[in-house]
Amino acid sequence: MVNRKIIGLLFFTSTLLITLLSAKENIHEYKVSYVGMSMDYKEYKDGVLLDSETSGFSDLKGVEFLYGYIMPDKTSLDSNKITLSVMALRGNTKYTGSYLGSNLGYGDLVSTTSNEVYDIDLDFAHAYQLSSSYKVIFSLGLGYRFWRRALSPQQVEDYKWYSFRPSLAYSYSYKGLRITPKVEYQYGIKSRMRATGFNEEFRLGGADIIQLSIPLEYFLAQNISIFGVYTFEYQKIKESKLVYDNLGNGYLEPQSKAYNEYIKFGLSFKY
């Protein structure tokens, strides 16, 4: 499922991190968290609702692993950080729509969809320390997203794309607490969808995401903390170009919008 390009990205990341390990006073950070996802996904054609996928936080769940390499600036309180994170989710959503080609409209069919979601992110950030309690963080990331949507054993759709991910965060610390609201824009690149029964991939018109995250972290000790994160996500996938099946019938992937939410709870360790 994770293709050669992703393996190459991970190899490049590992090589880069090993090269940086020669610097002194740098800090390693490890995080692991439970993730629950609430999905609210809808497809449209000419403004008409075709189908939807919905779930609660307990329906789609998984884990996220994160490795960070923090490099303090020797001449100031600023710092740089390289982060590699991998998130994997599985679970079911409620499908509401209609049978393909039935023309009966939204709501004629209600069923269960099996889902797999994977997200990989490589991020470089610079933190400007404004005071002992405040800092501003600018970052730029490169990501990959994969979503397998199995409506039935005979109808499986795989969405995948790369993305550039600039973000801005503001961090405030008070005693053992730290809150860091963050806004991130993910600009999709080479967005594709592959469906059962088609030899050719659907070339999507675009796949962009805007995220607002609110992490809250509490330090149990200087290098150990627990954290929780709430994330709201708006995702828009633009209509694809026509693709023809083996019988010569033309199909397209319609425009879709999703309002997704995530909750994360985890443990962080630094040394």
Q: What is the DSSP secondary-structure string of 49-109?
A: EEEEEE--TTTEEEEEEEEEEEEE-TTSS-EEEEEEEEEEEEEEEEEEE--TT----TTSE
The architecture of the domain spanning 4-270 is Beta Barrel (2.40)
How many CB atoms lie under 10 A from the CB of residue 6? Answer: 17
Average pLDDT on 229-235 reads 98
Average pLDDT on 242-251 reads 84
**Residue owning tokens 């991910």:** 165
pTM of the entire predicted model: 0.87
- Give tens-digit pLDDT for 112-127: 999 999 999 999 999 9
198 — phi, psi (to 5°)?
-120, 130
**Tokens at residue 253, please?**
């992937």
